[in-house]
Structure 1
């Protein structure tokens, strides 16, 4: 069933009306969700009508419609990609068996943990971005922020549905807890470190949506391979929405670079202080933000060697990115993969069982994808005749998780001593001065078609609308 039933209180394509108990449970959770949105969702936006995309079907052709809607009235819902009754598990120890429609008892705890961890990231990013609307560089950007916010809210619904439907009382308690933890809270923080970091400004937001939402793409792609069919179908549809979040990040940074390059060419200088004085963000600051967001995001993939990763794969709970395109045996026993460790102050590679290194496999896939986008940013600089290039730091740089945690490493991959780290840290990671400078640029610009001085306008508007379209109506 691909169309979405919008006559129901909770829009869905899972025949929710046929399961009254489940429907009542989710309708009981709904007011708590709306209270959470009011309390820590986009600040000051209650009366706004925003030109939003709403899913109306899960058919890749024409799955969404656009229109002005109050975000609080957005029709969050539960959408699964169409099922295939003959779908087989295509990796791990259960390879060749029928995909599961219900949770096998022996995998219950691990599946619940996977779903809760994924679910926890969705409201966390809304909380992290709560105040950004107050400093939007344009109405176009404000609308994109709000689109991401409502879709993260819907991704939370997707995970809560699975918890309620398949995990009984435990699932209901976990669904409540998803609204009780809060990003950066001292006593009850979000599960993963990156989701407790602040997103203080729009450059951080663009880096977050480029890197951290890209982590989401890879995690969701791995879950879309799952032997647990409802999880696979849910995450496949989430990926359709996730693409826009990464577009906002990639195009946002591109537009910042375009404006910076323009100022550098007008002033005929690469002096960061002169670029800053002209109201643009200097390339050094952009590079330091990149280094920080990239390193925090690659930690999200977990330890480089993990028995959990091996169990999740062998059990069929979580595959690899694009599992179906890989040409090995999809069981991986006896295969190895190279990971890094530090021996006598030097980085060395060592072979470890591939099943234990699957976090590293996914991290390396992510790195390849991230580097490709950074190269596209460099094309903006190249086209403008600016010789500087942005680079992705070494994967051991600024790591807090796994064998590389706490190692002092330069962005270009040299192990450094404490003294050099202390001396160079402010060249490699954003400083309080960087944050204060970027914050000083964050004045709100929301007249249609007008843009803050530190960012270039986009090439085109949203859904074939002009760039100066009224994307947000302030009530």
Structure 2
């Protein structure tokens, strides 16, 4: 069923009306979701008509409709990618078996844990970003923020559907809990620490959507390989929407850099203090923000060695990134992988069973993908004739999870003393002064086509609309 039925109270392409018990359960959850959106969704957006993209099909050709929608009226729903005929489990000890259409009893607890952890990240990012609309640098950017927000809300629906349909009372309770936890709440925080960090300004937002939503890309790709077919189909469609989130991050940082280097060239300045006098964000501050968001996101992949990751893979629940494109036996019992650890005061490579290091495999895939985008940012700086280059820090830098937690490592990968860390950390991570300066630039710009001083305009508009299109109507 590729088309999505919007005549239903809950839009869907899963024939929800044929399962009255499930339909009633989800319709009971729906008002709680709408209340959460009212309380924790984008601040002050209730009366805005926003030029949003709405899924109308799950096939790649013409899957979305664009039009102005009042934010609380956005139609969230349940959309699964089309089912692949005769799909198999492609990895692990069940490799070659028919993909599961129902939850195998022996994997019930692990599947629920995977779905809940992924589901918890979706509303968390909405909560982290809820005040950013008040300081949007343009209508174009405000619209992109709101598009991401409504899609993260829909991704929550995707996970809640799986919990309700396949996990009975436990699933219903978990679905309720997804609305009860809140990002940064001291008593009931989100599960993963990166989703309890504040996103106080638009530079942080662009870094989050570039780095942390990229973690979403890799996690969803690994789950799209799952032998549990409903989870695979759910994640395959979520990836269609996730691509836009990373585009917002990469293009947003590119536009910040473009504006900064334009000012540097125009005034023939390089000193960051001089750059700041012109109301743009110096490249050194961008590097420190990059270091922070990269390191926080790298922690999301978990410990370097993990028996849980091995269990998920061997059971066929969670694969590797692009599992089916890899040229090996997809069982991995005899395979090794090199990880890093600290030994005798040095960072050294160590060979370990690949099954136990699958978190590190996914992390390394993520790092390679992240570095490619940073290279594209550097081409903007290079084209301006400047010698400065952005770079991702060493993966051991500023870690709080895994074998590097509790160790001080410089961005270039050196073990350093506490004293050396303390004397350099202001050059490596955003300071209070950095954040205060960036915050001082934040102010809402709402005139169509106009941009805040610190960011360049985008090269093209959304859905072939002009840059000065009225992307948000303030009613």
TM-score bracket for the superposition, by shorter chain length:
over 0.9
String of CA shifts for 1:72-115, please: whole Å, max 9, x gaps.
11010100011124111110000000000000110000000000
Paired residue for 2:472?
472
String of CA shifts for 1:96-143, please: whole Å, max 9, x gaps.
000000001100000000000000000000000000000000000000
Residue 441 of structure 1 deviates from its aligned partner by 0.2
SS, match of residue 464 in structure 2: coil
String of CA shifts for 1:235-262, please: whole Å, max 9, x gaps.
0000000000000000000000000001
Q: Number of residue pairs matched? A: 475
Paired residue for 2:315?
315
Residue 407 of structure 1 deviates from its aligned partner by 1.2
Paired residue for 2:129?
129
Paired residue for 2:158?
158
Give distance in 2, aligned partners of 1:195 and 1:415: 28
Residue 387 of structure 1 deviates from its aligned partner by 1.3
* Structure-to-structure mapping, 1:219-368, within 5 angstroms: 219-368=219-368
Q: Which runs of 4+ in 1 moved over 3 A?
A: none
Residue 384 of structure 1 deviates from its aligned partner by 1.3
Paired residue for 1:103?
103
String of CA shifts for 1:250-282, please: whole Å, max 9, x gaps.
000000000000111111011111110100000
SS, match of residue 473 in structure 1: strand
String of CA shifts for 1:387-428, please: whole Å, max 9, x gaps.
100010000000000001121011011111111000000000
Give distance in 2, aligned partners of 1:93 and 1:71: 46
Give distance in 1, aligned partners of 2:34 and 2:252: 29
* Structure-to-structure mapping, 1:387-398, within 5 angstroms: 387-398=387-398
Task: Give yes or no for the alignment of 1:29 onto 2:17.
Answer: no
String of CA shifts for 1:9-36, please: whole Å, max 9, x gaps.
0000000000001001000000000000
SS, match of residue 463 in structure 1: helix
Paired residue for 1:426?
426
Paired residue for 1:84?
84
Paired residue for 1:458?
458
Paired residue for 1:143?
143
Give distance in 2, aligned partners of 1:84 and 1:371: 33
SS, match of residue 462 in structure 2: coil
Residue 386 of structure 1 deviates from its aligned partner by 1.5
Give distance in 2, aligned partners of 1:458 and 1:11: 33
Paired residue for 1:409?
409
String of CA shifts for 1:147-182, please: whole Å, max 9, x gaps.
000000000000000000000000000000000000
Paired residue for 1:204?
204
String of CA shifts for 1:348-385, please: whole Å, max 9, x gaps.
00001000000000000000000000000001111111
Give distance in 1, aligned partners of 2:345 and 2:288: 25
Paired residue for 1:173?
173
Give distance in 2, aligned partners of 1:71 and 1:237: 22
Give distance in 2, aligned partners of 1:359 and 1:84: 27
Task: Give yes or no for the alignment of 1:57 onto 2:24.
Answer: no
Task: Could you tell me which runs of 5 or more consecutive residues in structure 1 were left unpaired when the two chains were aligned.
Answer: none
Give distance in 2, aligned partners of 1:158 and 1:264: 46
Give distance in 2, aligned partners of 1:413 and 1:402: 16
Give distance in 2, aligned partners of 1:232 and 1:193: 25
Give distance in 2, aligned partners of 1:344 and 1:452: 51
RMSD, matched Cα: 0.5
Give distance in 1, aligned partners of 2:265 and 2:44: 38
Task: Could you tell me which runs of 5 or more consecutive residues in structure 2 were left unpaired when the two chains were aligned.
Answer: none
Give distance in 1, aligned partners of 2:343 and 2:264: 44
Task: Give yes or no for the alignment of 1:20 onto 2:20.
Answer: yes
SS, match of residue 65 in structure 1: strand
Give distance in 2, aligned partners of 1:385 and 1:42: 40
Give distance in 2, aligned partners of 1:418 and 1:159: 43
TM-score if structure 2 supplies the norm length? 1.00
Residue 345 of structure 1 deviates from its aligned partner by 1.2
